[in-house]
Amino acid sequence: MMAGAARRLSYGDYLQVDRLLSCQAPESDRAGAPAHDEMLFIIVHQAYELWFRQILHELDRIQADFASETVADENLGRIVAGLSRIHEILKLLVGQLDVLETMTPAGFLDFRDLLTPASGFQSVQFRLIEARLGLHDERRLRIEEQSMRERLAPEDRAKLDADGHVSLLGQLDAWLARTPFVALGDYNFRESYRAAVVAALRRDAGQVGADASLPEEQRRQDAAAIEKALLRFEALFAPDAASSSWRMSPRAIEAALFISLYRDMPVLQLPFRLLQALMDIDESLTLWRLRHALMVERMIGIRPGTGGSSGHGYLKATAEKHRIFIDLFHLSTYLLARRDLPTLPDAVRARMGFSYGAA
């Protein structure tokens, strides 16, 4: 090649295909008893790790945008786009289980014992994603009285400890708490909406109690559930936030509720899509955990996992216990029909509309 001539970049060079294809090393080959399905098992899990890297890459920019004391208006669109991309990736990860389930339980048994004590539980990137989103260690399920970190190798624990990011859940809380429209001038969303919700829940309780077609036990349970919902709603406005079962602060919950209710106002349309994207992510993660649990039960029944967990039982439990943005789901309990919504004052509506619409 002549000095100074530009290098011709090829597809293989750019993607480092030769290097990528050299990363599959089946343990069954090493053991002298090749298992055909082990290649599929390796490739699916390596693909997971590549997608995990992309999710972390998206979170880098999302969290950098959220880190500002005031999130720039022009960055909100790309935050929503990044969250939507993460959701689409998670949907793809659920779909990859369909491919993995083309492997039969007998095919998996051909090499499963060679994997011990390796386990998907040890995926540091997935643990980083959980932590970055907002799954705190104290909310994680323990395995044989050990925390998640205690089950990892020292070098993997160091990788988690070296990550200095605050959680997206914490950043969301701070951002929502700064929402200005819940109290603007003489308008106070808290008081007007509180009265409307309490009246609606009381009305529901009265209707349940008066419905003679329902069995007495069901009426009692339904009425108790409504009373519990009322107490939970009242906790939004309790002065002692420590007594609340909500994970986010009362101001953040109040703002998320306001955004969900008045989502059609121009200034709230992107914030509403942001909240929806976070719920999509939480839902897809939950679906992935459930599908993973079912696949494990299909492959190994009630045997323990290779990493020492209870296998299917542990994975199924994480689907319920490892929810992150569950507060946003619970807000649906307190939504009102449009006809029952307290009307926004004209001055507030003007601030939340397009500026050229006022003319």
Render pLDDT for 233-263 as a digit per residue (tens, 0 to 9). 776 666 454 556 788 988 899 899 999 999 9
Say yes or no to pLDDT of 271 above 80.
Answer: yes
At 192 the pLDDT is 80
At 339 the pLDDT is 80
Q: How confident is the model at residue 337 (pLDDT cuts 50, 70, 90)?
A: confident
At 32 the pLDDT is 96
At 304 the pLDDT is 59
At 89 the pLDDT is 98
Instruction: State how far the alpha carbon of 348 is from the alpha carbons of 183, 222, 274, 352, in Å.
Output: 9, 37, 22, 6
Q: What is the pTM of this model?
A: 0.86
Q: What is the mean pLDDT of the chain?
A: 86
- Phi/psi for 143 (5° steps) reads -115, 115
Say yes or no to pLDDT of 204 above 90.
Answer: no
> 237: closest CA among 172, 272, 188, 293?
188
CB 357 within 8 A of CB 267: no
Say yes or no to pLDDT of 358 above 60.
Answer: no
**What is the percentage of the chain residues whose pLDDT exceeds 90?**
47
310 vs 168 pLDDT, higher one: 168
**What is the percentage of the chain residues whose pLDDT exceeds 70?**
91
Say yes or no to pLDDT of 16 above 60.
Answer: yes
307 vs 81 pLDDT, higher one: 81
CB 134 within 8 A of CB 167: yes
197 vs 169 pLDDT, higher one: 169
